């Protein structure tokens, strides 16, 4: 063989071998290629076919959800422990679509959830099981979504308050259930339920802010417990709970904004954490965190001002230190006022708060991911192309879509301009209260019910 052919077939030993991709890289390339194939196909079809592809398949989604409800009432065993969650995901999705179900089905659901209600307060995953804060949140949100007087009156708020007090820990966290884990989901679900039922008090909120603050990581997002990695689901929980207790100003919000906005990827959807895959459900968890941050601009501005002051002070003091050997400290949070409003009215006032008109993320791109990649044309929504539809993803993709559609509206429920809604205007969903993820109108009815005539 000549020198030349040897070189061609056998690379010299010194040449670096091609890097072997990690599993994460391979998965990422796979998702990117599937998503971009869809976008490419979309770009090459005629405009009328594009409109069809971007249409929210309301009827098919309703069929998928109704089938889920039928399944819910028939095919479950006594060991199932997530039926209140299925109720919430399905009824909330139906409410987002502006639809309702027959009275009998509503009555059966109220009756079923009443059987899940523990005599000592809180809701279990099924009748006779142990009460759990997360299923309590799911049950309460379902009953508020159903919305009738009977539904709202079925919640034993005194006992529920007792259950939440029992779950409360001295470090500010909550347990999920007796002897259960303490984490940020428990904080959010406890505080959310207490707030929406108007039973939030000083005892319940004591030290909660300290606990949540200890979960904000170096990245800026919030982890499930102190020392854990920042994640979109926990970030939404931590931020929403901090707002509900009037202590959002204690978080490092500029850093939180930085972290969350960079979780929207080139696939147009959000990932849950750094270097992980895009997933439709984060349209709500991350998109929801952004929707909350959009209403915290006055605090963000103050924090940014403070940071620049600290920078100036520390620069000056460093100079001074180097001159005369002394040092000074400026605390970041000390000068920011803590929430002065009555905690019972925070959630109600929050929806009317002024909000930044410039969205912090690409709302049209996210709608594109939800409609083209997460939506199944036959009904139901999913994590990503190639995954199966399910009720959890249907609920959180639709919730995220609603947030996008109203992301520029001055008032929370004023109809958005057509250019803000991707696809036909008939895609428009009902607006939600972003702190609780229940349809706004149902939230308002519940608020009235639990503040006026039926005070705790």
Q: Supply 156's token pair.
A: 């034993």
Catalytic residue among 383, 384, 395, 404: 383
Nearest approach, Cβ of 279 to Zn ion (angstroms)? 4
State the number of binding residues for Zn ion (CB under 5 A): 3
258 a catalytic residue: no
The distance of closest approach from Cβ of residue 276 to ligand FPP in the complex, given in angstroms and rounded to an integer, is: 4
| Interaction of residue 238 with ligand FPP, rule CB under 6 A | no
Rule CB under 6 A: say whether 188 interacts with ligand FPP: yes
Cα distance between residue 429 and residue 305, in whole Å: 38
> Which CB atom, from 28 or from 198, has the smaller least distance to Zn ion?
28
The residue number whose beta carbon is nearest to ligand FPP equals 233
Cα(133)–Cα(177) distance, integer angstroms: 6
Instruction: Render 295-311 in DSSP notation, one character per residue.
Output: T-HHHHHHHHHHHHHHH
Q: Residue with CB nearest Zn ion?
A: 281
Task: State both tokens at 433.
Answer: 């209260």
- Does the active-site annotation cover 390? yes
Q: How far is the CB of 321 from ligand FPP (least distance, A)?
A: 43
| 384 near ligand FPP, judged by CB under 6 A | no
Give which of Zn ion, ligand FPP, none residue 69 binds (C-beta under 5 to 8 Å, depending on kind): none
Phi-psi region of 18 (alpha: psi -120 to 50; beta: other; left: phi over 0): beta
Assess whether 282 carries a catalytic annotation: yes
CB of 184 to Zn ion, least distance (A): 18
DSSP letter at 420?
A: G
- Among the listed ranges 12-20, 154-162, 183-191, 291-299, the one in contact with ligand FPP (CB under 6 A) is 183-191
| 267 part of the interface to Zn ion, by CB under 5 A | no
Specify burial of residue 9 (Cβ count, 10 A radius: 0-12, 13-18, 19+).
Answer: exposed
Give the position of tokens 């006055």. Answer: 298
186 scored as a contact of Zn ion (CB under 5 A): no
Any contact of residue 195 with ligand FPP (CB under 6 A)? no
Q: Which stretch binds ligand FPP (CB under 6 A): 16-24, 271-279, 305-313, 340-348?
A: 271-279
Q: Which tokens hold the place of 121?
A: 């307060």
CB-count burial class (<10 Å; 0-12, 13-18, 19+) for 62? middle
Catalytic residue among 268, 281, 373, 395: 281
27 is catalytic: no
CA angle at 125 for the pair 121 and 129, rounded to the nearest 5°: 65
Shortest Å, Cβ 278 to ligand FPP: 9
CA distance 433 to 406: 11
CB of 239 to Zn ion, least distance (A): 19
Length of the chain measured in residues: 456
332 is catalytic: no
Distance of CA 249 to the CA centre of its chain: 19
- How far apart CA 446 and CA 417 sit, in angstroms, is 28
- Is 281 a catalytic site residue? yes
To ligand FPP, the closest distance from the beta carbon of 223 in angstroms equals 9
User: Is 116 in contact with 123 (CB distance < 8 Å)?
Assistant: yes
The catalytic residue among 61, 132, 231, 384 is 231
Indicate which single residue of 285, 350, 436, 450 sits in contact with ligand FPP (rule: CB under 6 A): 285
What is the rounded end-to-end Cα distance, in angstroms, of the chain?
92
Minimum distance of ligand FPP from residue 366's CB (angstroms): 16
Task: Give the C-alpha separation, 233 to 186, whole Å.
Answer: 12
Q: Binding of ligand FPP at residue 295 (CB under 6 A)?
A: no
| Pair type for strands 438-439 and 432-433 | antiparallel
Q: Any contact of residue 97 with Zn ion (CB under 5 A)?
A: no
Q: Is 281 in the site for Zn ion (CB under 5 A)?
A: yes
Which residue, among 167, 169, 147, has the nearest Cα to 159 in the 3D structure? 167
Q: What tokens appear for 106 in the block?
A: 């509503």
Residues 237-266 interacting with Zn ion (rule: CB under 5 A): none
CA distances from 243 to 279, 323, 417, 436, 446 (A): 26, 43, 28, 11, 19
Catalytic residue among 88, 123, 137, 282: 282
299 vs 347 by CB, closer to ligand FPP: 347
The answer to whether 455 is a known catalytic residue is: no
Query: Which residues are known catalytic residues?
Result: 231, 273, 276, 279, 281-282, 383, 390, 393
Catalog residues that contact ligand FPP under the rule CB under 6 A.
134, 185, 188-189, 231, 233-234, 237, 272-273, 276, 279, 285
Catalog residues that contact Zn ion under the rule CB under 5 A.
279, 281, 383
């Amino acid at each position: 063989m000549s020198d030349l052919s040897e070189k061609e077939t056998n690379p010299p030993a010194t040449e670096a071998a091609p890097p072997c991709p990690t599993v994460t890289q391979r998965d990422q390339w796979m998702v990117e290629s599937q998503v971009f194939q869809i976008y490419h196909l979309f770009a090459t079809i005629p405009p009328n076919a594009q409109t069809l592809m971007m249409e929210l398949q309301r009827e098919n989604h309703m069929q998928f959800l109704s089938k889920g409800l039928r399944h819910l009432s028939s095919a479950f065993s006594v060991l199932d422990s997530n039926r209140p969650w299925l109720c919430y995901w399905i009824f909330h999705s139906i409410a987002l679509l502006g639809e309702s179900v027959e009275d009998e089905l509503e009555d059966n659901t109220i009756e079923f959830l009443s059987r899940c209600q523990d005599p000592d307060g809180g809701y279990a995953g099924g009748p006779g099981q142990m009460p759990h804060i997360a299923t309590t949140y799911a049950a309460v949100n379902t009953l508020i979504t159903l919305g009738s007087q009977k539904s709202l009156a079925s919640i034993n708020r005194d006992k529920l308050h007792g259950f939440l007090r029992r779950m409360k820990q001295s470090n500010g966290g909550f347990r999920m259930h007796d002897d259960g884990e303490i984490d940020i989901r428990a904080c959010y679900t406890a505080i959310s339920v207490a707030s929406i039922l108007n039973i939030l008090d000083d005892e319940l909120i004591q030290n909660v802010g300290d606990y949540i603050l200890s979960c904000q990581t170096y990245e800026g997002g919030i982890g499930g417990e102190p020392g854990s990695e920042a994640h979109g689901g926990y970030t939404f929980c931590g931020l929403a709970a901090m707002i509900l207790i009037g202590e959002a100003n204690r978080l490092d919000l500029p850093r939180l904004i930085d972290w969350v906005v960079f979780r929207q990827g080139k696939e147009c959807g959000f990932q849950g954490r750094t270097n992980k895959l895009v997933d439709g459900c984060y349209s709500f968890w991350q998109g929801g965190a952004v929707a909350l941050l959009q209403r915290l601009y006055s605090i963000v501005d103050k924090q940014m001002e403070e940071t620049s002051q600290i920078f100036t002070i520390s620069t000056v003091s460093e100079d001074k230190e180097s001159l005369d050997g002394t040092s000074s400290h400026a605390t970041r949070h000390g000068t920011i006022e803590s929430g002065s409003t009555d905690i019972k009215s925070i959630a109600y006032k929050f929806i009317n708060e002024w909000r930044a008109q410039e969205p912090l993320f690409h709302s049209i791109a996210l709608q594109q991911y939800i409609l083209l990649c997460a939506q199944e044309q036959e009904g139901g929504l999913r994590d990503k192309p190639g995954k199966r539809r399910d009720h959890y993803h249907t609920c959180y993709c639709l919730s995220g879509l609603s947030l996008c559609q109203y992301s520029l509206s001055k008032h929370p429920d004023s109809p958005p301009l057509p250019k803000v809604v991707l696809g036909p205007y008939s895609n428009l969903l009902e607006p939600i209260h972003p702190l609780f993820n229940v349809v706004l109108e149902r939230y308002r009815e519940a608020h009235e019910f639990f503040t006026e005539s039926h005070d705790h």
